[in-house]
Structure 1
């Protein structure tokens, strides 16, 4: 590994071991031209809030994120999401767009306003069945950082997490 090792020992006093290792720092990049196959290896668990009014969908997405090594919490509507964001810090939010009481776009606007201890820069991923042309741009203009079309697939989640949190992943060959 290109390092060094030194040992100092004194009878009755103990042993001290010194070790130096040189590690190559590698930047992870997805190659979109070749359909970017990503070996997903998070180096730290992210704390993620999943906001989805459909209980089955919410549980499924939380389980997928959990299997990828992340800590999740759920909210069933925008108001509940704001309350959870006020109470705890989250690294990111997966936000359903169409929900009763307060939809994903209004909730995102409230988050971006900040206040009440909510970090306005929290990354937000829109989740919706609206896979129409221009939908992604609409959600990005509303303040969301990325967009995933439903039904959500694990590869979409991996790619989104990699793009939003590159510092939380390691490369693999």
Structure 2
């Protein structure tokens, strides 16, 4: 599967980061859905099917950890296993542990390397 056919939800509250993500993903022919906070991300997740969620950790209303917990507890167990990649500026060891404990599959540090993100998207696309 080519990454351009991935259905992606991006949960990001920072307008500059959202714009950057739109431009980057457009370069790879990906048109994701965007949520400006964790609550909106959970709502979009509940009504759509995604191959992947890119989840900012620090967001208003529900942070990335809280939103992930709700997604992982979705009644549809297959859907609840949707891969989640955290977008975070904090990659300290304790943050990495908290990310893993939250049920988040992986993370990309901000500011992120586009090649690193593309590689992770290719890995997920290959498993579909």
Look up the match of 1:129: 89
Q: 2:39 aligns with which of 79, 100, 112?
A: 79
8 Å Cα contact 1:45/1:71 also seen in 2: no
Look up the match of 1:142: 102
TM-score normalised to the size of structure 2?
0.88
Q: 1:67 to 1:106 in 2, by over 3 A?
A: same
Displaced runs of 4+ in structure 1, greater than 6 A? Answer: none
Q: Which has the higher contact order (CA 8 A, sep 6+)?
A: 2
TM-score normalised to the size of structure 1?
0.67
Of Structure 1 and Structure 2, the greater strand share is in: 1
8 Å Cα contact 1:86/1:116 also seen in 2: no
Q: How does 1:44-55 map to 2 (within 5 A)?
A: 44-55=4-15
8 Å Cα contact 2:3/2:121 also seen in 1: no
User: Is 1:57 equivalent to 2:17 in the alignment?
Assistant: yes
Q: 1:86 to 1:116 in 2, by over 3 A?
A: farther
Q: Over aligned residues, Cα RMSD in angstroms?
A: 2.2
Count of residue correspondences: 128
Where do 5+ consecutive residues of structure 1 fail to align?
Answer: 1-40, 169-173
Q: For the pair shown, which has the larger CA radius of gyration, 1 or 2?
A: 1
SS in 2 for 1:81: helix
Where do 5+ consecutive residues of structure 2 fail to align?
Answer: none
Q: How does 1:6-155 map to 2 (within 5 A)?
A: 42=2, 44-115=4-75, 119-155=79-115
SS in 2 for 1:62: helix
Q: C-alpha displacement at 1:82, in angstroms?
A: 1.1
